[in-house]
Amino acid sequence: MIWAAIAVVAAGCYAVKVLGLSVPASVLERPLIRRLAALVPIATLAALIALQTFGEGRALVVDARAAGLAGAAVALLLRAPFLVVVAVAVVVTAGVRALTG
């Protein structure tokens, strides 16, 4: 099942890239479609952040991951590069777990 999902995502993501390079600009250049295409990834990312920070199975919890995400947000505000942002989240989460757990 996981390999099938990987195949679907690989084929779909590649198809979307080829589509953009190949179709006439007028097809995708409608303002409503453009705005939707800009907003859907933002909605999806925001949902993933919320779910993976506060979701535990099908329950909502506030645990060490929330502290890690807060650390990542501070790193972002300080304009840290991507890997540093991720590393801060991991280290803060591990630290809070070590202190509380």
Residue 34 touching another protein (CB under 8 A):
yes
DSSP three-state, residue 101: coil
Q: Which of 30, 40, 62, 78 binds another protein (CB under 8 A)?
A: 40
CB-CB contact of 37 with 55 (8 Å): no
Q: Which of 30, 50, 78, 100 binds another protein (CB under 8 A)?
A: 50
Residue 51 touching another protein (CB under 8 A):
yes
Q: Taking the complex as a whole, how short is the minimal distance between the CB of residue 48 and another protein, in angstroms?
A: 5
Q: Which of 68, 78, 99, 100 binds another protein (CB under 8 A)?
A: 68
CA nearest neighbour of 73 among 86, 91, 55: 86
Measure the CA–CA gap between 20 and 10, rounded to whole angstroms. 16
Residue 1 touching another protein (CB under 8 A):
yes
Q: Which of 30, 44, 62, 78 binds another protein (CB under 8 A)?
A: 44
Residue 23 carries which DSSP code?
S
Q: Taking the complex as a whole, how short is the minimal distance between the CB of residue 101 and another protein, in angstroms?
A: 9
The runs of H, that is alpha helices, within the chain are 2-22, 25-28, 31-54, 64-77, 82-100
